A = this chain, B = another copy of it.
Amino acid sequence: MPTAVNAHSEKIAQAIKLLPEHQLDMWITISRETMHGKDPALSLIYSGDTVWLSAFIITRDGANIALVGNHDADGIRQREEFATILSYDEDFRQPFLEILNQFKPERIGLNFSLENPAADGLSYGLWLKLQSLLQDTPYIHRIYSAASLIGQLRGIKTPGEIDKIITSIDCAQEIITDVGHRLTPGLSELDISMLFKKGMKIKEVSAAWSADGCPAVNCGPESRVGHSQPSPDSILHQGHIVHIDFGVIKDNYASDLQRVWYLPKEGEDSVPPEVAKAFYVVRQAIGKSAAFIKPGVLGYEVDHIARQMIIDAGYPEYKHALGHEVGQKAHDGGIILGPKWPRYEGTNNIPLQSGNVFTLELGVPTSAGYLGLEEMILVEDDGCRFLSKPQEDIWIIK
């Protein structure tokens, strides 16, 4: 399937269609100096940057207007994403109010959310600035959160976006396979991470998260699991599990996978039963939760299936969520497949929708090291399908 020529225009069109469902007449993304942080919702609808104070305005009538500083105007014109481009030199307020007065929106959506960082791009200072710009206008009383709109816009992937995610997964899988062939006793976690970095460089892709923690690499039972950096002192020995958590950004879309290998001890001709059982349980927990997924189910329900299996098998409960959305970012915000902990409040009880992309990830400790897997799935009308090629057995290092 050919990728859409202009992915951002595709998302603008999707936003226009979504506005009525979210009871909004107008959606405004306010931006300035994206160098200091670009609103993650803006990245969906505009591929460039802004320097001066800007407003990206989409209405339920189908208008899509970018009001930007003069110095930013050429850049946005060249991109051909927004239909109407207005620019200003000295004062933003007057043209901004003219647009509002033209459309007279009753309900205006802005980018803030307590729960979803991907829908929370409006800074508190810009919020205050907007309050001052709208002083003495009726619009100051017509502001609502656009979080549900952004959640859907971001979460329901277009065919073009799904293609890009698959391409990103394929790229990560190729790098993983290649590194797998190079694993040998004596390598440190840092050495292994450098093999991944070399693979990314060759394929001209970047790490899907903080470069020094992507990949995460864990060799053996002493290694710490989490968002930490691979250690030069943690060495791959016989009898160790190698666990990696890795993804790439390719063409602006992310992948996020966990894989495991086992380096046999002298004379071992199969994986120790403890490790084999751990792999089986983790794999089953992912499979069972995937089988449960379909549009309408809730995040905590999906998480519960995997979590209960792990507990029933006698392992300690994993201290994170089973899954998160993936898109332009590895952690794409929105829905979390997570338990009813305060930390996941409001993100784990949103009905899944066709077009959502999630990770399914968990792991258990063993005496050979941490055994964790992470797959990626796409919610479809009648269930879900794996976008990653699920790891079916622990890989043996030869």
Contacts and interface: CB of A to CB of B under 8 A. Distances in A.
A89 interface: yes
Contacts of A229: 74-75, 78
Given A38-B37, A40-B36, A213-B75, A49 B120 contact: no
Given A78-B228, A120-B123, A331 B33 contact: yes
Interface residues of A, number: 67
Interface in A138-187: 147
Contacts of A36: 40, 117-118, 120-121, 329, 331, 333
Given A36-B329, A118-B36, A90 B343 contact: yes
B128 A123 contact: no
Interface string A312-341: 000000011000000001110100000001
A37 B40 contact: yes
Most buried by B among A112, A121, A125, A329: A125
Interface in A71-99: 71-75, 77-78, 89-93
A319 B69 CA distance: 10
A123 B118 contact: no
Contacts of A383: none
Interface string A264-296: 000000000000000000000000000000000
Contacts of A226: 70-75
B125 A120 contact: yes
Given A74-B226, A226-B75, A343-B53, A330 B35 contact: yes
A75 B227 contact: yes
B124 A120 contact: yes
Contact of A320 (B71, B110, B113): B71
A51 interface: yes
Nearest to A339: B90
A107 interface: no
A125 B41 CA distance: 14
Given A92-B343, A122-B124, 10 more contacts: A32-B117, A34-B210, A48-B213, A49-B209, A52-B343, A75-B229, A77-B228, A91-B343, A92-B342, A120-B126
In order of increasing CB-CB distance, the 6 nearest A-B pairs are: A74-B228, A120-B125, A33-B117, A49-B210, A37-B37, A112-B124
Interface of A: 32-40, 48-49, 51-53, 69-75, 77-78, 89-93, 110, 112-129, 132, 147, 209-210, 212-213, 224, 226-229, 319-320, 329-331, 333, 341-343
